Structure 1
Amino acid sequence: MANSRNPISENGNRLRWDDARVFLAIARSGSLSGAAAALGLGLATVSRQIERLEAALGLTLFSRHQTGYRLTDDGEALLERAEALEQAAEAFAEGSAAQAGIAGRVRLATAETLANHVIIPALPMLSTRYRDLTLEVVTDVQSVNLHRRDADLAVRLVKPQRGNVTIRRLGRIGFGLYASRSHAAERRDDVRFEHDRFITWCESHSHLPAAQWIERVLRGRAPALMTTTLSAQLSAVVAGVGVAVLPHFLGRQNGLACLRADIGLDQEIWLALHSDLARSRRVRAVAEFLAELIHGSRNLLETPPTT
């Protein structure tokens, strides 16, 4: 009787469950080196395991190119089944650790402003609930792809339009035009802002709604300062360099003067998580914590200062 712990393929070779994990890592990264880095394995180990899997299946799963590895038709056909295996393995691991409660690492991608001023200050509450949970916060959201599993879940100001993700609206974040109190007291009463010095985004970020709004207001005039981060713009406003479009909660927290509260730039806050992780206990725990946090901060995030 054959040993049932490792199934045998049609050509008689024994399959190893761990090889499916390597297959998925190569498919997602497009290279052996990317898969090795993601799994914490050596390059030779990854190469040996994928060759072993192809031999066991009697199939060529990837076509090798100078630019990387691409799935063959046979590889594409097995991708969904491999992802189902991965999900089952995660569920098994979580089930075995159920008595220990929520544990493990969850990778969250979000905007730096939300991370620094909303999420991270509230993390002691999450740590109190789940002492064995580790949260990894990634703020370089331009390079994060949930479908590739660069992160487990994300809190974003732009609604994801595609990919194998589950989406949930959490709330809204309000934006206005702000200046320091001293700068506001000295500026002219100019409803068209023709005499104001603006702080805006560098050209690499010109697609952002705030950058486009300021460009329309300037009508060809040069700004006073251009930056690549909102935190730099906040520092410049506090220093009196000029005026900038900022979230209302940052204006309130820093005692800034709101020159115009409604500029039509309010944005929805979206929670997105990879659909394969929708049943992960630790990912769900973080998702629910974030939903509670954003909902409880609605007044702070949405409304401008009263004075």
Structure 2
Amino acid sequence: MDRLNLDDAPVFLAIARTGTLTAAAKQLGTGIATVSRKIERLEHTLGVPLFLRHQTGYKLTDEGQALLPRAEKLEEAAQSFRMNAAFEAEAIGHVRIATAENLANVLIIPSLGELMQSHPDLTVEVLTDITTSNLHRQDADLAVRMVRPDRGNLTVKKIGILGYGLYGSEAYLATRETVEANPISSDRFIGWAERQQMLPAAQWVERMLKGDAPSVATSSLLGQISAAKAGLGLAVLPHFLAVDAGLVPVSLDIGLDQPIWLVVHSDLVASRRIKIVADHLSAVIARNAGRLAGRELHS
């Protein structure tokens, strides 16, 4: 038996419903010769006549009548497939983003209004506790991270740079004592809690302290900023957060600038809703590139 061509099923249904080649061709938006060729091909493949040909039109044979319900189920499946494809094409559905709280609160969440306006049937969930958001477990659909994943079925793209500097309050800087050979040797530093010691900023402060204790330790960037504003010492902070908080730079380049990575599970890359959100996040980071890197803040 020749291989069945599923493109012939709609022709079969159109002739069965309209009764003529002319009406079927009009319904399908194609030529009469094409309709005739396809129905003959289908009959040849199945090895049975599906229609009785009369001058007044086409009438289903017993074999054609038996095939009709199956062809209708095939049509329903195709319509369902098209509806699902349209669902994706129109960016309908829910997307979960995992990211750092500082990026979420200052840049990403405030930008979602424009995304929702363009795609009103899209909903977004922003997860800032990234220690529990794992793309492999599908805790999130995509992530904006400062650390590049080195394993897993992930698509990773660098979308920006996050710049760090050393900052303090005006009140603290007005009272600090400096040594010309090492201006920060006598400074107090704001450290990180023990469970954040893997952070580059925490490790930088540890190196500066050389075994001494920090004046205060916190477990969040918000805590770091609050301690710096209170004059408790110097803190390593992203430029854009420090400047927004009114802090003063002591050193703009401390060698901690980090790439910003957009991470998507590879199985979701082709999804329209995921692509729409991923493109939006890339655009938000690109639009704020100078601010994130610190170029616009201290130029």
- TM-score, structure 2 length as denominator? 0.69
Q: Per the alignment, do residues 186 and 105 of structure 1 end up closer, same or farther by CA in structure 2, a change over 3 Å counting?
A: same
Mapping for residues 103-142 of structure 1, pairs under 5 Å: 103-142=92-131
Q: CA deviation at 1:195?
A: 2.1
SS state at 1:125 partner: helix
Q: Per the alignment, do residues 112 and 94 of structure 1 end up closer, same or farther by CA in structure 2, a change over 3 Å counting?
A: farther
Q: Per the alignment, do residues 94 and 154 of structure 1 end up closer, same or farther by CA in structure 2, a change over 3 Å counting?
A: farther
Q: CA deviation at 1:124?
A: 1.3
Instruction: Give, in whole Å, the separation in 2 of the partners of 1:266 and 1:92.
Output: 46
Q: CA deviation at 1:131?
A: 1.3
- TM-score, structure 1 length as denominator? 0.67
Aligned counterpart in structure 1 of residue 276 of structure 2, from 269, 282, 285: 285
Instruction: Give, in whole Å, the separation in 1 of the partners of 2:142 and 2:263.
Output: 6
Q: Per the alignment, do residues 222 and 293 of structure 1 end up closer, same or farther by CA in structure 2, a change over 3 Å counting?
A: same
Q: Per the alignment, do residues 94 and 232 of structure 1 end up closer, same or farther by CA in structure 2, a change over 3 Å counting?
A: farther
Aligned counterpart in structure 2 of residue 297 of structure 1, from 288, 291, 296: 288
Aligned match of 1:95: 85
Aligned counterpart in structure 1 of residue 193 of structure 2, from 202, 212, 233: 202
Q: CA deviation at 1:275?
A: 0.6
* Residues 1:212 and 2:178 aligned together: no
SS state at 1:210 partner: helix
Letter in 1 for 2:277: V
Letter in 1 for 2:228: V
Mapping for residues 72-87 of structure 1, pairs under 5 Å: none
Q: CA deviation at 1:189?
A: 2.8
Aligned residues: 217
Instruction: Give, in whole Å, the separation in 1 of the partners of 2:107 and 2:170.
Output: 24
* Residues 1:248 and 2:239 aligned together: yes
Q: CA deviation at 1:271?
A: 0.3
- 2:178–2:186 CA contact under 8 A, matched in 1: no
Aligned match of 1:82: none
Q: CA deviation at 1:289?
A: 0.1
- 1:91–1:280 CA contact under 8 A, matched in 2: no
Letter in 1 for 2:178: D
Aligned match of 2:49: none
Aligned counterpart in structure 2 of residue 153 of structure 1, from 135, 142, 150: 142
Q: CA deviation at 1:92?
A: 6.2
Structure 2, unpaired ranges of 5+:
1-79
Aligned counterpart in structure 2 of residue 222 of structure 1, from 210, 213, 218: 213
- 1:103–1:133 CA contact under 8 A, matched in 2: yes
Q: Percent identity?
A: 47
Q: CA deviation at 1:306?
A: 2.2
- 2:178–2:185 CA contact under 8 A, matched in 1: no
Aligned counterpart in structure 1 of residue 256 of structure 2, from 265, 268, 284: 265
Q: Per the alignment, do residues 175 and 283 of structure 1 end up closer, same or farther by CA in structure 2, a change over 3 Å counting?
A: same
Q: CA deviation at 1:132?
A: 1.4
Instruction: Give, in whole Å, the separation in 2 of the partners of 1:270 and 1:219.
Output: 32
- 2:141–2:265 CA contact under 8 A, matched in 1: yes
Q: Per the alignment, do residues 103 and 193 of structure 1 end up closer, same or farther by CA in structure 2, a change over 3 Å counting?
A: same
Aligned match of 1:173: 162
SS state at 1:269 partner: strand
Q: CA deviation at 1:235?
A: 1.3
Letter in 2 for 1:157: M
Q: Per the alignment, do residues 91 and 260 of structure 1 end up closer, same or farther by CA in structure 2, a change over 3 Å counting?
A: farther
Aligned match of 2:298: 306
Q: CA deviation at 1:122?
A: 1.4
Q: CA deviation at 1:98?
A: 5.7
Q: CA deviation at 1:183?
A: 1.4
CA RMSD of the aligned region, Å?
Answer: 1.9
Q: Per the alignment, do residues 146 and 189 of structure 1 end up closer, same or farther by CA in structure 2, a change over 3 Å counting?
A: same
Deviation by residue 1:31-82 (Cα, 9 ceiling, x = unmatched):
xxxxxxxxxxxxxxxxxxxxxxxxxxxxxxxxxxxxxxxxxxxxxxxxxxxx
SS state at 1:207 partner: coil
Structure 1 segments of 4+ aligned residues over 3 angstroms from their partners: 90-94
